[in-house]
Amino acid sequence: MITINYNYYNNLDLFKWVRDYYKALDTTGFHFTIIDDGSMDVPLPDALVPSDWSFYRVTEDVGWNCNGARNCLMKETQTKWNLNIDLDRVVAPQSLHFLKNHNLQEDTMYHFASLPHHRIATRNAKIEDYTWQQSDEQKNSEYKCAYNTYICTKQLFWDKGKGYAELAHGGEYGGDYFFLDRFKPWQMHHKLYVLNVVDHATFSHEWKQESMDRWGRYKTGEDNGVRVGFPWIKIR
């Protein structure tokens, strides 16, 4: 069994698309977990989360807490292998099949290649809109690496990675680099791909700057040693 861990934050339409994408696939051998990272504007309703998914909720919006929320999922997971992925991506069907039928090395964190976006995934988008073809150059390009989407064991996450840094006043944009640096050189498996659900070009510099201005933090490298230092509850 492999657990696929997702974070959620104020984006119900995106969650519905991701949920329905997996509903249409054979996900035998996979367990899904999602954590609402303190959404106050559009919290994730319990009724919309599939009954066989695990569901957690951070009860305070502490700001840029995506890494802390991921720590929580990796603390609570009941499976050895865990695939951590952002909500704007989904695992390619071929990669799900590969993971279900092949063994990986327990001492390695495997990163996924990100397939280029072809069409913004609206409610009417279909998986056929995407291709699963990349050149060898693209497969080996760090630019194409979805660096914060990876699969590893729970033990490796904590023993080597030590978990993501959390700050007393919340998280920080870009703080995941310091965690992931412990696993360089990054290992990209040629059979592991994710599909971009949204066009990442739509995440404008203005949005990024507004978010950083709101929380006032960007890649400081600060680490107070606390892990899962925020209020949260398990819904199921």
Domain ranges of the chain: 2-231
The predicted-structure confidence for 100-141, as pLDDT tens digits, reads as follows 999 999 999 999 888 765 443 333 444 444 343 444 444 444
Is 170 strand, coil or helix? strand
- Model confidence at 210, pLDDT cuts 50, 70, 90, reads low
Task: Mention the CATH class of domain 2-231.
Answer: alpha beta
Task: Decide if 165 contacts 153 (C-beta within 8 A).
Answer: no
Please list, in sequence order, all residues whose beta carbon lies within 8 angstroms of the beta carbon of residue 69, skipping any fewer than 6 positions away.
7, 35, 37, 56, 58
Q: Kindly tell me if the per-residue pLDDT of 194 is higher than 50.
A: yes
pTM reported for the whole predicted model: 0.84
Q: Beta strands 81-85 and 145-153: pairing type? A: antiparallel
Q: How many CB atoms lie within 10 A of CB 185?
A: 6
